[in-house]
Amino acid sequence: MKACNAASTPAEANCKLIRDDKEEGVDETLYKQVVGSLRFLCNSRPGIAFAVGVVSRFMNEPKKSHMLAAKRILRYIQGTLSYGILFPTGSLHAGLQLLGFSDSDYGGDPIERKSTSGYLFLLNNAPISWCSKKQEVIALSSCEAEYIAGCYAACQAMWLEELLREISIDVKRPVQLRIDNMSAINLSRNPVSHGRSKHIEVRFHFLRDLVNKERVEVLHCNTEEQLADGLTKALKPEKVAELRKKIGLVSTLDLCYQN
């Protein structure tokens, strides 16, 4: 793959991988090696987290289409070898801010019809934590899917806050969590919505508890400003490039030109 043609996105938009027993199979060991290496790379490449998560669902008896999807990620990496996370310098006298973004698709998995949660946390406008994960339960609405994703993000926010406190880094409180679904935000703030949410598992109401204790502040953001959008679905090339810039993934070549 060193001489492959570069791809502009890690996954094709609107491409849904399925399990077809009639499709031609591939070497399972090789597939696991490729996906395992990609999962390791996710530690420094938030842009490929969703695509790698999708191909990871087919470790058992992978097919040709699954291997092609994994190779597409490699092609994207080939075209973005110079990109990395930049931790910019800023004015520390105003205090550091831990800012979180939470997003979800609804029923994006064509096999189990489960949704995918994604969150991204920035510290001083630099990404420090991100995740793309298929939810464990089937959501009955987009509101519920976003609410569950928000709960996962809130758990991570509390862990990050405690970690920063242990290493003597003070951040502004409450932690801001931005969600692009008003129904999910209202559900986290207002228990009156119990009639529409009584079927949601108790553990997911952890978000509401943190909001009531003013440890997390849930704010609305437009879909265009949702930085976790790429962690829940495959996007078009122009959107991938836009989010890459907003998150703080920059090319070392561009930095050399600027200097």
- Give the tens place of pLDDT for each residue, 144-186: 999 999 999 999 999 999 999 999 888 888 999 999 999 899 9
- Measured CA to CA, the distance from residue 16 to residue 256 in angstroms comes to 39
Under the banding of pLDDT at 50, 70 and 90, the label for residue 15 is confident
Domain boundaries, the chain: 1-81, 92-247
- 225 token code pair: 């400003």
Angle at 104 between CA 100 and CA 108, to 5 degrees: 155
Mean of per-residue pLDDT scores for the chain: 89
Backbone angles phi, psi at 141, to 5 degrees: -160, 165
Q: Are 178 and 219 in contact (CB under 8 A)?
A: yes
Report the SS3 class of residue 54: helix
Q: Quote the pLDDT of residue 203.
A: 80
Q: What are phi and psi of 255, to 5 degrees?
A: -65, -40
Pairing of strands 175-179, 126-134: unpaired
Cis peptide preceding 46, ω within 30 of 0: no
Class of domain 92-247 (CATH, top level): alpha beta
- Quick one: the chain helix, strand, coil %, rounded to 5? 45, 15, 35
At 83-133, the pLDDT tens digits run 988 887 655 555 688 999 999 999 889 889 999 999 999 988 889 999 999
